[in-house]
Structure 1
Amino acid sequence: MEHVILLFYISLFFLCQAKGPLECWEQAVSANGALHLQPEKPPQGWTKFTWKVKRDAGYHQRILTVEKNKAELFFNSTFLGRAVFQRETFSLQIRPVSMADSGVYVADFEDTSGTFTRRCFHVSVWEPVHSLQLETRVLGWKQGWCNLSLVCTVSGADNVSYSWSCSGDPQGVLEHQPWLHLQVHEDSLPTVCRCNVSNPVSWSADSTNITVASCQAAASGVALSYSTVKMLLWLLLLGSLVAAVAITHVLVWQRGPPSHCAPGSSGTG
């Protein structure tokens, strides 16, 4: 029985000591914006408080340290002029932030026994979405159907998500891609398609109106363009042949007609 009780206390001891991975709050912020971090209520008996950050390099960098009974505040030099600390709430504000400020931010409360109580924030910095462009490309007109492609592009932002929505019932699949392939029938009403581009901190949208008339005109323009290029090529070939014949006649005329002499004559008077 004593062995069972001893085994129980040993198991309870290791169970209390075992700790899982530190859970972090997810927080996204826009580049050149302000990052605001605020831990929960501090534990009783804390003596020292520290903010630190772990970047991609894999090591913790101290941002600031403050002691309970002292007025001094020790800032890391890389955050001087950008970081503001509020003693009342233990909050940290960094302005402006850059892409390099992404990382895991930890708030450490230390008590007299050296025990730490931690609050963790996983911060990701994103470029805002801007300069959205929506382009319509008509691919052709066949048997009353207009085949077209919509292309939605943004500049200066990475890892964005795309979504599409169209009025009516156009033939096509609304995929989460920067492009959309559609078929619009000649009997269809005007179709309005909208592209939405977003990331965790911002979004932008644009729409375009697709009509059968504009689709036919664009398709005719494509066909006309092809016919024009074909005609120009034929004219170029014909012009080359005419130029070759003309050059040949000029060379023959410059050499003059061939001379004819009677047999046995010397050609002198």
Structure 2
Amino acid sequence: MQCTALLLIPFLFLSRAQGCEDRAVPAGGELRLLPKVLPQAWEVCEWTVALDSGTQLVIVRTSKDKVPVFKGRFSGRATFLPETLSLSISAVTQADSGSYSLRFETSSGLTHSQCFHVSVWEPVGQPHLDSHLLQQEQGWCNFSLLCSVPRATKVSYSWSRNGEPLGHGNLLSVHGDTEPSTYVCNASNPASWSTASISSTTVCFPPAAGVAWSYCRIKGVLSLLVLGSLVAAVVITHVLTWQQDRSQAVASLSQSTGPPGRDSQAARPL
């Protein structure tokens, strides 16, 4: 007996020193707990839970050659696989959060346990984006973006621009000559995440009459208008000059020839 007790001490100490492995699962999803250490031969296996509410329950206790039986709140939701000693629970709720422990005994009488700290989180909903134009001058646009998930708690937010991470900063600046950028807000908790996006043209250069006008595009249009005006002025000047020269030529020709029929009457005999 003393020898057996001495052999048990390292296993008990290891079990207490390991602590619990953290697991996060979304509400309504499936919880899967797979032990990292599996015995070569086990005789008795037991899954228990200490819920965050303070209730302690035995989920399943079974022998190697018996069919596992589940009772209470986990009946109809839990599945036990003897080959891997794994436990699965479907349709979890936040009330299922707690510390889940696996304890098994080998044929030699040794015991071992593993622990999982499970937290059930509500899935992150669709984020809502708010944009605020701070300053716009000399082609530069300074703006801020605010991302939030209504009625959500313990949600973290991060930003990216065209796929490049921006961290948690939401004070941004963009120039009108640059290509439009897409800003993405990622809202997440330990169990799920959701995203929302917005374009820089929506904030700084909103579309007018269905066309988005940037600073570069406006400058190009004004240049074309000026060039068109110069070309039109040259053409009009050329046309007016040609018409004036033609009018002068016709007038000179009329004065040199005189009225038609005047010379023939003077030469007719009396």
- TM-score, reference length from structure 2: 0.60
The equivalences for 1:39-54 within 5 A come to: 39-40=35-36, 42-44=38-40, 46-54=42-50
Question: Structure 2: 5+ residue runs without aligned partners?
Answer: 1-5, 209-270
Rounded Cα–Cα distance in structure 2 between residues aligned with 1:45 and 1:120? 20
Structure 1's consecutive aligned runs of 4 or more residues displaced over 6 angstroms after TM superposition are none
Equivalent residue, structure 1, for 2:88: 93
Q: Give the distance between the partners of 1:24 and 1:215, measured in 2 at CA.
A: 55
- Whether 2:199 is the aligned partner of 1:209: answer yes
Cα distance in structure 2, aligned partners of 1:40 and 1:151: 42
Structure 2 counterpart of 1:34 = 30
Distance change in 2, residues 1:111/1:162 (3 Å): same
Do the aligned partners of residues 209 and 72 (structure 1) sit closer, same or farther apart at CA in structure 2, a change above 3 Å counting?
closer
How far apart are the structure 2 equivalents of 1:40 and 1:187?
A: 56
State the shift of 1:62 in Å: 1.0
In the alignment, what sits opposite 1:225?
A: none
Could you tell me which runs of 5 or more consecutive residues in structure 1 were left unpaired when the two chains were aligned: 1-11, 217-269
Give the deviation of 1:200 after TM superposition.
3.1
The aligned residue for residue 190 of structure 1 is: 180
Confirm or deny: 8 A CA contact 1:196 1:204 kept in the other structure: yes
- Given the alignment, which residue of 164, 171, 176 partners 2:168? 176
CA gap of 1:156–1:63, structure 2 versus 1, over 3 A, is farther
- 2:18 is paired with a residue of what secondary structure? coil
Map residues 145-164 of structure 1 onto 2, 5 A cutoff: 145-155=140-150, 157-164=152-159
User: Is the 1:51–1:105 Cα contact (8 Å) retained in structure 2?
Assistant: yes
Distance 1:77 1:144 in 2: 67
* Residues 156 and 110 of structure 1, relative CA distance in 2, 3 Å threshold: farther
Whole-Å Cα distance in 2 between the matches of residues 40 and 175 of structure 1? Answer: 34
User: CA separation in 2, counterparts of 1:44 and 1:141?
Assistant: 70
**What displacement does 1:52 show?**
0.6
Q: Contact 1:138 / 1:215 at 8 angstroms: preserved in 2?
A: no
Are the aligned partners of 2:126 and 2:196 in contact in 1 as well (CA < 8 Å)? no
Aligned pairs (5 A) from 1:93-132: 93-111=88-106, 115-132=110-127
RMSD: 3.5
- Partners of 1:185 and 1:38 lie apart in 2 by 52
Q: Across the two proteins, how many residue pairs are aligned to each other?
A: 199
Specify the alignment match of 1:243 in structure 2: none
More moved, 108-117 vs 71-80:
108-117
Instruction: Give 1:35 shift.
Output: 1.0
On the 8 A contact 2:160/2:167 being kept in 1, the answer is: no
The share of aligned pairs that are identical, in percent, is: 43
With structure 1 as the length reference, what TM-score do the two structures score? 0.60
> 1:129·1:156 contact (CA, 8 Å) conserved in 2?
no
